[in-house]
A and B are shown apart, each in its own frame.
Chain A
Amino acid sequence: MDKVSEPMEKINAPSPLRVIWRELYNDKLALFCLFLFIVIVGTAFIGAAIIDAGETLNQNLSIRNNPPGDGFLLGTDIAGRPILQMLIIGARNSLIISILVAFFASVIGIVFGLVAGFYGGKVDDILMRILDFLTIIPTLMFTIVMIVLLEGTVLNFGLVLVAFAWLGTARFMRMMTLQQGAMDYVKASKTLGTRNIVIIFREVVPNIVPAMTMMLTLTVASTMGIETGLTIIGFGLPPDTPTLGIMISRALNPLAMTSRPWQWAPAALLILAMVLCINYVGQAIGRASDARRRRV
């Protein structure tokens, strides 16, 4: 009798962040990507804080198109701006924009998905019709229209990107929430009369933290790609906010592409390195979100 009345030993489930970390730790390539990404972020932010942006962006025609070496580690661009410093400032700007856009888009997408998936029924119907409508919009074209319309500031550019970046996250989070909602622990809580909001945030959310983190990282990477793309085709940030895309777009003509690769290749490779690293880490986190796919 004594034995039964004794409370069962509680087995603590590992916290979501611990699960993610364990998955990353056991995937050496993911760990390397994380390390490389942190190094890039660190260099970009610390470097950009040290560099005198005004001086870097000043045009100096006497030193235009200098090849790497000879006073300029990575050479200079068509207006005599040093490539290395431009890379650092550009990477910082690209990172800030991508991370902020991805953060706000993820918050919207997660809330939308949680509400639609958890409440179901009418709420879900209405929200899904909204989502369906937004999905048939040719996103890229609409983004371009809105950027032209709201011409000018970095804030507007970011808002336009946020406007479409949350759709995928919303759909995915709804699916995850639906899965969780059908599980016994949620039904048990409902039977006990726990309030919905408590079930969502105390019980459902911790189970889908890895999935949320994955969507966040993937959105950072895709935003970076779209920001670069838009900048290259001429609908990017205002020119006084240098990003990596601007460096590529300035060198996107046959002459510069063939004879002065140092003006665009480093920027392209840097974007590539960042996007690939973020994606790889994101996928490892995604594996952590699904117990069957975990490697440990």
Chain B
Amino acid sequence: MWKTVARRLLILIPQLLALSLVIFFFASLMPGDPFGGLMFEPDFTLDDIEALREALGLNRHWVVRYVEWLRNVIVGDLGRSLVHARPVVDVIGERAGNTLRLSLLSLVFIYIIAIPLGIVAGRRKDTFVDKAIVFYTFFALAMPTVIFAVINLWIFSFRLRWFPFIGSVDVRYIPGTLDFHLSRLRHLILPALTAALLGTVGIINFLRTMIIDSESSDFVTTARSKGVPERVIYNKHILKNASLPIVAGFGPAIAGLIGGNIFIEMIFSFPGMGGLFVSSIQTRDWPVANGLILIFAIATVIGILLGDLFMMILDPRIRIR
């Protein structure tokens, strides 16, 4: 098993290398840098700007800059932000907490919503409840994230005034107090719920199909003929089988949430990594944008790998391969 993991991690290295090379190449094609606008500032002359570019090494060929960037990345240094004049790691780190909290809460909501619905739909196949749940999964799959977010923003923030529509915490509270954490949670709920309601489809469909298929499988027939109570058949036999892939879905799900929250963070004006990415692109702050893309790519691959690893640990049949 560890051989597989090692091999997967080894494949990861050329993949990330190629990816960062592509990013750097694109960034080098981009016209402009954050300093172009400085020429209108009274304190800057054109020579000052040129000196700034020279000092930051922006005038060198992109390959040279790439090699240097790479050398730094290996020791965990993503460079300095051109706009914030601080290390990229710090700039991203400030936002990472928010995005991580948002993703985790979304994930919790996904499991809370999806597991009961999936079980009910499977057990009450073809009833009204089942049809309603299947219809919901259709909506969740088809709904464009932005539109759903805008509609939720309007209903729950502006009409009902239940949730705040901007930021990640109320500015009036002092960090560390209970009020501060409650306010933070309140800011998280609506964006997290929006992401979660659209993210349940996979688990619901999986559970439903699993239960329906199990109904006609031998182990359930055997259990029934032995007189095992229906409740025990579901809890001990069917759901135990289904629980593995659901747990293993955790990895890819969290990776997808971290990477896929740009739209949600933008609509809810939530200060996370997605919003940071958008603003860094708008201000041509390439070190930050590069760093974020790299982090998201790593998160995606590690998420998928973790999921597979879970399956290998839990399911002996996969381990043998």
Determine if chain A interacts with chain B: yes
Assembly CA distance A137 to B30 (angstroms): 19
- The A197-211 residues at the B interface (CB cut-off 8 A) are none
A136 touches B144 (CB 8 A): no
Residues on B lying within 8 angstroms of A by beta carbon are 15, 18-19, 23, 26-27, 29-30, 138-139, 141-147, 150-151, 153-154, 158-159, 165, 259-260, 262-263, 266-267, 277-278, 281-282, 289, 292-293, 296-297, 300-301
Which one of A145, A221, A245 has the highest number of Cβ atoms from chain B below 10 Å of its Cβ? Answer: A145
Q: Can you add 13 more A-B contacts, CB < 8 Å, to A271-B144, A280-B142?
A: A136-B297, A138-B259, A138-B297, A141-B277, A144-B278, A148-B281, A224-B144, A229-B263, A232-B266, A258-B154, A265-B154, A268-B150, A275-B144
Q: What residues on A are CB-neighbors of B26 within 8 Å? A: 145-146, 149
Contact indicator B277/A268 (Cβ below 8 Å): no
* A133 with B18: CB separation less than 8 A: yes
Task: Confirm or deny: A248 has a beta carbon within 8 angstroms of a beta carbon on chain B.
Answer: yes
Q: Are A275 and B19 in contact (CB under 8 A)?
A: no
- A140, A248, A254, A261: the one contacting B165 at CB < 8 Å is A254
Residue of B nearest to A252 (CB): B150
Let me know if B267 and A232 touch, CB within 8 A. Answer: yes
Q: Which residue of B lies closest to A133 (CB)?
A: B15
* Contact (Cβ within 8 A) B138 A283: yes
Let me know if B19 and A229 touch, CB within 8 A. no
Task: Establish whether residues B150 and A264, one from each chain, have CB atoms under 8 Å apart when the complex forms.
Answer: yes
In Å, the complex CA distance between A221 and B138 comes to 13
Shortest Cβ distance from B23 into A: residue: A145
Give, as a whole number of angstroms, the nearest-CB distance from A66 to chain B.
21
A232 near B154: Cβ-Cβ < 8 Å: no
Most A CB contacts (10 A, CB to CB) among B147, B151, B159 go to B147
Q: Does A142 contact B (CB under 8 A)?
A: yes
Q: Which residue of A lies closest to B142 (CB)?
A: A279
Chain A positions 242-271 with a Cβ under 8 Å from a chain B Cβ: 245, 248, 252, 254, 257-258, 261, 264-265, 268, 271
- Least CB distance from B82 to A in Å reads 15
CA distance A142 to B23 in the complex (A): 8
CA distance A83 to B73 in the complex (A): 50
Give the distance in Å from the alpha carbon of A272 to the alpha carbon of B305 in the complex: 35
Q: Closest CB-CB distance, A151 to chain B, in whole Å?
A: 9
Complex: how many Å from CA A229 to CA B142?
14
Query: At the interface, yes or no: A100 with Cβ under 8 Å from chain B?
Result: no
Please, which residues of chain A bring their CB within 8 A of the CB of B266?
232-233
Within the complex, which residue of B144, B289, B296 is in contact with A229, where a contact is CB–CB below 8 Å? B144
B-chain residues with CB within 8 Å of residue A279 when the two chains form the complex: 138, 141-142
Q: In the bound complex, what is the Cα–Cα distance between A264 and B144 (angstroms)?
A: 15
**How far does the Cβ of A245 sit from chain B's closest Cβ, in whole Å?**
8
Check A258 against B158 for contact (C-beta < 8 Å). Answer: yes
Q: Is the CB of B262 within 8 A of A257?
A: no
- Verify B150–A233 contact, CB threshold 8 A: no
Closest beta carbon of chain A to B94's beta carbon, Å: 19
| CB atoms of A261 and B154 under 8 A apart | yes
Cβ of A233 and Cβ of B144 under 8 Å apart?
no
**Complex contact A136–B301 (CB within 8 A):** yes
> Which B residues are CB-close (under 8 A) to A264?
150
Q: How far is the CB of A257 from chain B (nearest CB, A)?
A: 6
Smallest CB–CB gap between A150 and chain B, Å? 9
Chain A residues with CB under 8 Å of B159's CB are 258
Q: How far is the CB of A167 from chain B (nearest CB, A)?
A: 13
How far apart sit A132 and B11, CA to CA, in the bound complex (Å)? 11
5 closest A-B pairs (Cβ-Cβ)? A225-B144, A279-B142, A138-B296, A229-B146, A233-B266
| Listed A/B pairs (8) with beta-carbon separation below 8 Å | A136-B15, A140-B262, A141-B293, A142-B293, A229-B144, A252-B267, A254-B158, A276-B142
Let me know if A141 and B296 touch, CB within 8 A: yes
A76 located at the interface, meaning its Cβ lies under 8 Å from any Cβ of chain B in the complex: no
Chain A residues whose CB sits within 8 angstroms of the CB of B267 once the complex forms: 232, 252
Q: Is there a chain B Cβ closer than 8 Å to A234's Cβ? A: yes
* Residue in contact with A149 in the complex, picked from B29, B147, B301, CB distance below 8 Å: B29
CB of B278 within 8 A of CB of A233, answer: yes
Q: How far, in whole Å, are A145 and B26 apart by their CA atoms in the complex?
A: 8
A233:B263 contact, CB within 8 angstroms: yes
Complex-state Cα separation, A272 to B153, whole angstroms: 16
CA distance A137 to B19 in the complex (A): 7
Given known A229-B263, A279-B138, contact A271–B147 (CB-CB < 8 A): yes
Minimal beta-carbon separation of A261 from chain B (angstroms): 7
- Judged by a CB distance under 8 angstroms, whether A228 is at the interface is yes
A280 contacts across to B, CB distance below 8 A = 138, 142
Q: In the complex, which residues of chain B have a beta carbon less than 8 angstroms from the beta carbon of A261?
A: 154
Chain B residues lying within 8 Å of A271, measured Cβ to Cβ, are 144, 147
Check if B147 sits within 8 Å of A228, measured CB to CB.
yes
Give complex CA distance A42, B45 in Å: 58
Task: Give chain B residues whose Cβ lies under 8 Å from the Cβ of A142.
Answer: 293
Contact across chains for B146 and A275 when beta carbons are under 8 A apart:
no
Residues of B within 8 A of A233 (CB): 146, 262-263, 266, 278
Q: A138 — which chain B residues lie within 8 A by C-beta? A: 259, 293, 296-297, 300
A residues less than 8 Å from B263 (CB atoms)? 140, 229, 232-233
Chain A residues whose CB sits within 8 angstroms of the CB of B23 once the complex forms: 145
Residues of A contacting B282 in the complex (Cβ-Cβ under 8 angstroms) = 234
* Complex alpha-carbon distance, A193 and B300, angstroms: 44
Q: In the bound complex, what is the Cα–Cα distance between A132 and B277 (angstroms)?
A: 24
Complex-state Cα separation, A264 to B153, whole angstroms: 13
Q: State which of A140, A149, A245, A254 has its C-beta within 8 Å of the C-beta of B30.
A: A149
Contacting pair A257 B278 (CB below 8 A) = no
- Distance in angstroms from B303 CB to nearest chain A CB is 10
Chain A nearest CB: distance from B256 CB in Å? 10
